[in-house]
Amino acid sequence: MDLHLLLPEDRMTRINTISPMDLLDQHLFAEWRELPRIFALARYWSDSGERSKIPDSYRLGAGHVRFFYDKLQWLAYRHAILTSELLARGYKLGSYDEQREYLKWLKAEYPQLWNGWEPSPADHRINLQRLQAKLEAKPDFYTQKKRRACPKHYEGRWMWWYRVTDKSRELLQQPAKDINP
């Protein structure tokens, strides 16, 4: 089975490198929603014996998703801090417990895919340039904490993705709770 059947070409999967606190609302929510697709794709890739080459470096476009197939630990942490930031912004996301159990199982069954990663300054630059281009294409669409975003929001931001709050780190170890503001 071709992996493209699981992820049609018209379905983008965004994985950013910068801190979730620096993402605009739409980019933050889209990444949070799309990132879990990679867990299933990586699992299928491993089970199928397909050994398409994993790119050596972070990229956008062709190879972007495949780059993360063996970096599931990083993706799990990334998703946890995206969740934490969405909750901090007042989004209602429901329970995270089912996904947490799936990730524990995935880590136990596919340890070869459970690796970390640290984005380089070049990775951040590529990511920020793409985000800024998207913002400039639709300047009236994007918001920052539900307020209209500055048209140059991403310019000059060289934040590392791991700038997180203590609450984000705790999310990995505690059961998620439904938030009802």
Annotation marks residue 34 as catalytic: yes
Question: If we measure between CA atoms, which residue out of 37, 38, 64, 44 comes closest to residue 1?
Answer: 44
Annotation marks residue 109 as catalytic: no
> Which of these is catalytic: 9, 34, 98, 136?
34
Give whole-number Cα distances, 134 to 105, 137, 142, 174, 181, in Å.
Answer: 36, 5, 9, 35, 31
> Which of these is catalytic: 13, 85, 165, 170?
13
Whose tokens are 């800024």? That residue is: 132
Q: Are 78 and 99 in contact (CB under 8 A)?
A: no
Catalogue the active-site residues.
13, 34
